[in-house]
Amino acid sequence: MTISTIRARAVAIPVSRPTRMSNRELQDRHYVLVEVTDDTGRTGTGYTYAGTAGGPLTRSAVDELLAPVYLGADQDDIVGLWGRAYQETLLSGRRGALLRALSALDIALWDLKAKRAGQPLAVLLGGSPAAQPAYASGGYYRPDEGEWCDALRAEIVFNTAQGFTDHKIKVGGLSVAEDARRVAAAVEAIGAGGRLALDANNAYRSVREARVAIEAFERAAGDGALWWFEEPLSPEAIEGHAELGRRVRTPIAVGEIHQTRWEFRGLIQAGAGAILQTDAGVVGGVTEWLRVAHTADSFGLEMAPHWHHNLHVHLTAAVANALAVEYFAAEKGIYNFELLLTPATRLRYRDNTVLPPDRPGIGVEYDEEAVAKYELGG
C-alpha cells in the first residue's frame, strides 16, 4: 500500500487571556495538522506546534519540500522515509520549522500504521495501555488574575481538584525575589506528598545568574526538594547546563527545543540534564523520539516529554524510562490544541495520571468546524 495524498493545514488559536512566560508574551498558538491517506482510503493524522507564528511556514515545508518525498511511497517504510526526507532537505533546513513539519508527517504515518493494525499507538509500539504518571502544567504570568502568589495558589487548588498532586510553574519572568515568593506560595499550596517543577524558558543569561536563581528557589521551597529546574539557560548552552547541574541540588531538565538524535547525543555526552523533555512534535516525530528515549535509557536518563499530551501518553507507555507526561487542562487556555478535537477524543486524566485512549492510532478526531474557524488561509 502506498501514500496517495498528503494534506497540511495551519491553524492559529488565540490564548484565552493575556499570558506571558519569562521571555515572551503569548497571543496565538500556531499548529500544523497533517493527514496522510493511503491508496485504500485510510487516513493517519499527525500534528505539530509551530510556535506563536510560523504556521504557514511549517505548512509550506510539508507541501513543498516533504510531500514530494512521501507521495507514492510505501506507507510502512516509516524509518526509511524519515531518512530519505532528511537527506533530501539537507540544504533547506535540517532543523527548525522543517523538522517540525517532518515530525508531523512521521506522526501521521505511525497513526495510520496503528489504525491499520486496529491498535492504540501505545500497544502497537509494544507498550501497556495502563495509566501514565502525569503532572499539571501551568503557572504562567497572567496579570488579570490578581496578585502573583494569590493567582498561583488558586491554580494549585484547581489542579488538585482535578486530581493532580504534581505541578509545574513558570519562573524567570519576575525578579528572583518575586519568583521565590511564588515558589514558596506554590509549595505551601501543594502540601505534603506533591512535587513542584520550575520552568524558566531560557530566562537566565549565565550559569552564575541561573545558580543564584535556583538557590533562592531552593531556599523558598524549604525542606522539600524541587522536582526539576527546566531550561534555565539558552538551548545552545549545552556545557552551561552541564556545569549548572554539577553545582546545584535540583536536577536540570533540558531538550524541549532540541531536534534529532544528533542534538540529543550532544546533550547526553555533555551531561547537560538528568531529565530529557524530548518533544515528538519537535524532535522528528515518533521515529526520532523513540531513538532518543532508548539512548537516554542506556545512560540512566528519564523522559518527561514536553507538550502534546495526546501523543506522549502513548510514547511514555512504550519506553522503560518515562518519568511523567506534561498535562495542560483545557480550561486554562494555554495548550489550546484540544479545542480542535471532538470532546470525546480529548485526553482523559485521573489521580495524577493520564489515560491512553483505547481507540486505534493516537485516538484523536478533529472537530472540523473548529479547524475551519481557526484555519489560516494561503
CATH number at residue 310: 3.20.20.120
Q: In this model, does residue 207 exceed pLDDT 80?
A: yes
The answer to pTM > 0.95 is yes
> Which secondary structure element, helix H or strand E, spans residue 116, and what is its range?
helix 97-117
3-class secondary structure, 239: helix
User: Are 224 and 350 part of one and the same domain?
Assistant: yes
Average pLDDT over residues 194-219: 98
User: Are 323 and 197 part of one and the same domain?
Assistant: yes
In a domain, 247, yes or no: yes
* pLDDT tens figures, 283-302: 999 999 999 999 999 999 99
* pLDDT tens figures, 226-271: 999 999 999 999 999 999 999 999 999 999 999 999 999 999 999 9
* pLDDT tens figures, 41-87: 999 999 999 999 999 999 999 999 999 999 999 999 999 999 999 99
Q: 110: domain range?
A: 3-118+368-374
User: Are 171 and 309 part of one and the same domain?
Assistant: yes
Q: How many domains does the chain fold into?
A: 2
* pLDDT over 70 percentage in the chain: 100
DSSP letter string, 274-294: SEE---HHHHTHHHHHHHHHH
User: Are 134 and 245 part of one and the same domain?
Assistant: yes
User: Are 179 and 211 part of one and the same domain?
Assistant: yes
Average pLDDT over residues 126-135: 96
CATH number at residue 8: 3.30.390.10
Query: Residue 24's pLDDT is what?
Result: 86
Q: How confident is the model at residue 18 (pLDDT cuts 50, 70, 90)?
A: confident
Q: What is the dihedral of CA 68, 70, 72, 74, to 10 degrees?
A: 160
User: Are 66 and 137 part of one and the same domain?
Assistant: no
Query: Residue 23's pLDDT is what?
Result: 85
Query: Residue 272's pLDDT is what?
Result: 98
User: Are 112 and 161 part of one and the same domain?
Assistant: no
In a domain, 363, yes or no: no
User: Are 283 and 333 part of one and the same domain?
Assistant: yes
User: Are 200 and 72 part of one and the same domain?
Assistant: no
The position carrying cell 501521521 is 108
User: Are 132 and 59 part of one and the same domain?
Assistant: no
In a domain, 278, yes or no: yes
Look at residues 5, 29, 30, 25 and name the one whose alpha carbon lies nearest to residue 378.
30
In a domain, 183, yes or no: yes
User: Are 175 and 303 part of one and the same domain?
Assistant: yes
Let me know: does 357 contact 120? Beta carbons within 8 Å.
Answer: yes
In a domain, 360, yes or no: no
At 158, the amino acid letter reads: F
Q: In this model, does residue 116 exceed pLDDT 80?
A: yes
User: Are 194 and 134 part of one and the same domain?
Assistant: yes
* pLDDT tens figures, 160-191: 999 999 999 999 999 999 999 999 999 999 99
In a domain, 127, yes or no: yes
Return the percent helix, strand and coil in the chain, to nearest 5.
45, 20, 35
